[in-house]
Structure 1
């Protein structure tokens, strides 16, 4: 750890343009940054080109316009991209000085769905495919794959495409992906493995301990710490699905597979959602009829289950997605007709009734697509066609509607995380990114 010099003036000649600032401003860049290290007494004395009036001066052979923007960010906390300078050039210069984390904090505000704006639309960059899925990373990046594809496209928070990841053998199709953290990506399909999200390198494969074989995966979830969960079966056992838990660090299975009992009416689980407050896992099946369960992660036991009985309601309605609300007391359901419903999961079993909200809350502009649900910040997001509707309040009134790329077609999937909202279109696979601008510093 360095011992900071007393606050004083310092000059930096960057690409022929001289900047004068204080030692405190540069050390405020933080440990591990180049500018902070330059103020350390242990810094190579030859680093200073000389002194003028007792003020040390350093020469840095980099872009002066970008440095001016970064220096202003250190002074004010606000980031302004210089006119005529592409954002990626500024990011490159920030990386040189070790300021990328500071730039990200100044660039992306905490996600507020009531104030989001469309920040970018990223083209697929290759031949489009049907049914794309997107998963948000904790650092503002994401990954995109397709239910019948063999690779996963990975993007960093600057929306630059990194090296893709691929299950082995190369013919293994991907069905789902989940982030363990900003640098670790879990991928499942005909096989299950962990990869570095930074380099695309394989970390390890996950196998079924009792069968000693690879895992055929339908859905993934992570506790954002050390455990991952998967709805899966052995490659040789196509008739029996279960939910398993693995240690993300070692890749070893951390418990037996949970095979749902017939009375739970749980089919093949197609969606998993980790609930951090209760340390439970929501498992939902929408294959033939809808059913869901809550699983205690400590012993992988079912503590609550429910299934939708359309005959009891007397309506031709199918539930196609579910999301547990952030209070973990209720779950929101969406039907194939885009009806929204709420279910109190504190009521045991099928004695709980769904409180269906009025169908008119889901507007339509084109041929419908399979709807999806997500929750964030007490608000509920639901997709229909080319629009994502955001609901809030005690009655879940419509707050706003998000539309992305013009002509992109129906939204096939969306994901919230890393202070960003991602949506991928079915027809052209364009990836839309929404974020909340930082409020001005007064």
Structure 2
């Protein structure tokens, strides 16, 4: 039984509610209700029950209060879901709402929650998920951003309507965008607000303190606020890797990149403070390099000049000390991060040598994901045994997919549709 001192009275939009301080405190210190227990706003310092007024809609507040009381979400038929989500955002309890709506990410239990149709046809070519379950879709010169309620935010548009080459979530609030004109003669990198689409600043490319005209392509970020981009000089096609401070926008380094082809993927390895740089092009030599920023050296370097395989993607799995690589027939290869020989152990797929232009890899919560045609396969265990498949009959071949927060987003190639996969609550 709660004590008199623990009881709290609230007047929300003219409707009175009575609850306990314990229930409101469960919202968390960073929530609206957490602020009510700050020393500057003590709800019950004298032991009496004081009524506090909140100028919001009481119908939505009642649903959210029940969520805090029980941990379960029940939405009455007359309640608009998206308006309820916005109210949860106002009170700072959107995490509670997400947890009540779906469980922790598990590739073997994912279920299709929704399919979103874009504004165009056959133009979307990249999708990226954010750490807080938002996503963005690249369509030619535009980046369409969707919040965790799957509402479209203001569109990000590149300067001079240049084609977008890559996008990267710097954090939950900002997106880096690389672009170039249709002749790949010039390009740039901009940092944009995810919620407003506003350009915050452009990243300039300098080599030996000289401002250079580069096209920017693949992007990546580190845990210590660095932004990386694959850069190709417009005049002599020299490849390099630009490094910027995400906070200030200032370039901090430029690394010459010796492989013949430009880098196609960056991945920061948090445990070793290294950057994996992969070049996986359809009909050119594949290379993987590991740059150690503590020693300013190359910790691992591998390349395949035999052209016997068409390598398409690579991903480092730090907890297994390995790098996984996939070819156009969905054969998976594994390389030991600690090995100096850098040999690859291949595991053949069951695809009967079916060719696919868009194989892709991802790793989340100890599970490996591999995209092939219209199917995303999930691999688990020490031997990477296939345990489940994600497949949607509508939309055709999957061109790209991305995992962020507690969601998987899959972008279809033949139609401008992306699927949202979530893990149901146990």
TM-score normalised by structure 1 residue count:
0.83
1:104 to 98, 101, 111: 98
1:344-359 to 2 correspondences below 5 Å: 344-348=336-340, 351-359=341-349
- State the partner residue of 2:378: 390
- Alignment CA distance shift 1:355-1:28 (3 Å): closer
- State the partner residue of 2:111: 117
Q: Distance in 2 between matches of 1:256 and 1:15?
A: 57
- State the partner residue of 1:200: 197
- State the partner residue of 1:333: 325
> Per-residue deviation at 1:244?
1.9
- State the partner residue of 1:51: none
The DSSP-based 3-state class of the residue aligned with 1:257 is: strand
Q: Is 1:237 aligned to 2:214, yes or no? A: no
Which digits, 9 at most, give the CA deviation of each residue in 1:55-113, with x for residues without a partner?
A: 54456564444222211121123333233433202112223434334333444433121
The DSSP-based 3-state class of the residue aligned with 1:230 is: strand
- State the partner residue of 1:278: 272
- State the partner residue of 2:24: 26
1:371 to 346, 359, 369: 359
- Alignment CA distance shift 1:41-1:397 (3 Å): closer
Which digits, 9 at most, give the CA deviation of each residue in 1:309-347, with x for residues without a partner?
A: 547xxxx53222111123262111211122122222322
TM-score normalised by structure 2 residue count:
0.86
Q: Distance in 1 between matches of 2:398 and 2:406?
A: 20
Preserved CA contact (<8 Å) 1:128 1:429: yes
Point out the more displaced range, 131-140 or 338-347.
Answer: 338-347
Supply the RMSD in Å over aligned alpha carbons.
2.9
- State the partner residue of 2:182: none
> Per-residue deviation at 1:293?
1.0
- State the partner residue of 1:172: 162
- State the partner residue of 1:88: 82
Q: Distance in 2 between matches of 1:433 and 1:178?
A: 19
Which digits, 9 at most, give the CA deviation of each residue in 1:131-163, with x for residues without a partner?
A: 5111111111111104xx112111222221111
1:248 to 246, 249, 252: 246
Preserved CA contact (<8 Å) 1:242 1:258: yes
> Per-residue deviation at 1:399?
0.5
- State the partner residue of 2:171: 181
The DSSP-based 3-state class of the residue aligned with 1:423 is: strand
- Alignment CA distance shift 1:36-1:331 (3 Å): closer
Preserved CA contact (<8 Å) 1:120 1:432: yes
Aligned residue pairs total: 409
Q: Distance in 1 between matches of 2:6 and 2:292?
A: 58
Which digits, 9 at most, give the CA deviation of each residue in 1:360-411, with x for residues without a partner?
A: 1x599x984421111122221111111101111222211100123x320111
1:323 to 315, 326, 333: 315
Preserved CA contact (<8 Å) 1:79 1:103: yes
> Per-residue deviation at 1:300?
5.2
Q: Is 1:138 aligned to 2:131, yes or no? A: yes
Name stretches of at least 5 consecutive residues in structure 1 with no aligned partner.
Answer: 46-53
- State the partner residue of 1:219: 218
Which digits, 9 at most, give the CA deviation of each residue in 1:163-197, with x for residues without a partner?
A: 122222x2222111111111121111221011121
Q: Distance in 2 between matches of 1:135 and 1:143?
A: 5
1:50-89 to 2 correspondences below 5 Å: 56-57=50-51, 62-89=56-83
Q: Is 1:303 aligned to 2:299, yes or no? A: yes
1:162 to 153, 158, 161: 153
Q: Distance in 2 between matches of 1:228 and 1:29?
A: 34
> Per-residue deviation at 1:259?
2.6
Preserved CA contact (<8 Å) 1:422 1:432: yes
The DSSP-based 3-state class of the residue aligned with 1:254 is: strand
Preserved CA contact (<8 Å) 1:108 1:437: yes
Q: Distance in 1 between matches of 2:278 and 2:404?
A: 21
Preserved CA contact (<8 Å) 1:66 1:82: no
Q: Distance in 1 between matches of 2:169 and 2:200?
A: 13
The structure whose residues are more often strand, as a share, is 2
